[in-house]
Amino acid sequence: MRRFHPSNRGPQQLFILRFLGLILLVLLTLFGFLWGGFALWYQLPFGVAGNIGCLILWAAAGFAVLWLEFKGRPRRALIVLIPLMIGLGYWWSTITPSLNRIWAEDVAQTVTGTLNGNYVTLSNVRNFEWRTPADFTPRWEVRTYDLQDLASVDVFLSYWSNPAIAHTLVSFGFNNGDHVVFSAEIRKERHEQFSEIGGFFKEFELAMIAADERDIVRLRTNIRKEDVYRYRINLKPETRQALFLSYLNNANQLATTAKFYNTITANCTSVIFDMVRAITPDIPLDYRIVLSGYLPGYLYDLGAIDRQRPLVEVIKSALINQRALDADNDPDFSAKIRVEN
């Protein structure tokens, strides 16, 4: 039998292999320079003009590599491409999260807590009085909760533009009527604005915020005019307590060890999913964890929310905006947004 050897390939086979290799190299080049361009834009410290200048040089290098590839000189292209990508990767690895920046006031503090028997004491619970998004009275409080009185868990989903994307908040309710909301949020600096693309490129740190519902829910319904939905989560008492303590542990870790926010892997919903999965490992991974706007369907399929009615009716009745507007600054805000239609 004749042995196969690369030299036995016909001219047509070699042409196809070289063509496919060129296509793969071009795609890798495009991806590398596109990713690198975003990374440079979001992380270079030279201001708009300086960053644009650096991006022009970066784009010129990218076009030079592509020109060599299309001219049939892949080895020369690789001589340029490989060092550039190694340098980019090394520079990227030096960008680390921080706990010490000039933070926006609403995330200037992050929650921490201690456990003493059944009692949890939380420090830096946010209870701002919001008049507009830019006009508010800041208040950071210390509050104590008895885990034996933990009676409910609600998920709030807040939509501001894209129906596929929502901010996820988890509220723990107690028998005495108290509620405390945990929210994994981007920790913006004072000059920063949220960017979903920037969230892929180490633009923001991750913060755990605990807040009163009249602060964090009312901010979204009454001040920002976002659409907010509330879903009661069906959990056993021991699971409710375990989830609360998971939040406590996560908050304490983030208060001492900085971590970057990531639009996909470390966001407001994925953080919750990781904690819940640590308690109940059998819950399935699902695309609706990433596209959090569709989270109600996922919770419905799991039986974690009301399944006595069709999903569309559950979602419709979950909208709390009018009730929140009616309650406004009422001390019974939490009770009034839970009044069933």
Encode pLDDT of 134-156 as tens digits. 999 999 999 999 999 999 999 99
Banded pLDDT at 106 (limits 50, 70, 90): very high
Please give the pLDDT value at position 22. Answer: 86
Distance CA 297, CA 311 (A): 7
Q: In the 8-state DSSP scheme, what is residue 248?
A: H
Query: 273-284 burial by CB neighbour count: b if 16+ within 10 A, else e?
Result: bebbeeeeeeee
The β-bridge relationship of strands 129-130 and 136-137 is: antiparallel
Q: Does pLDDT of 335 surpass 60?
A: yes
Domain ranges of the chain: 11-94, 105-337
Q: Does pLDDT of 251 surpass 90?
A: yes
Can you give the pTM of this predicted structure?
A: 0.89
With helix as H, strand as E and coil as C, how does 180-246 read? EEEEEEEECECCCCCCCCHHHCCCCEEEEEEECHHHHHHHHHHHCCCEEEEEECCCCHHHHHHHHHH
Please give the pLDDT value at position 197. Answer: 92
Going by C-alpha positions, the residue among 24, 213, 206 that lies closest to residue 130 is 213
**Per-residue pLDDT tens for 260-310?**
999 988 999 999 999 998 888 889 999 999 999 999 999 999 999 999 999
Banded pLDDT at 15 (limits 50, 70, 90): confident
Higher-confidence position of 9 and 250? 250
Average pLDDT, whole number, for the chain?
93
Structure tokens given for 220 = 């979204």
Dihedral sign computed on CA atoms, order 52, 58, 60, 63: negative
SS3 262: strand
Q: Does pLDDT of 4 surpass 70?
A: no
Banded pLDDT at 9 (limits 50, 70, 90): low
User: What torsion, rounded to 10 degrees, do the Cα atoms 258, 262, 268, 272 define?
Assistant: -80
Q: Report the pLDDT averaged over residues 249-255.
A: 97
Structure tokens given for 286 = 């699902």
Structure tokens given for 171 = 């509220």
Banded pLDDT at 5 (limits 50, 70, 90): low
Q: Does pLDDT of 191 surpass 70?
A: yes
Distance CA 204, CA 198 (A): 8
Q: Does pLDDT of 110 surpass 70?
A: yes
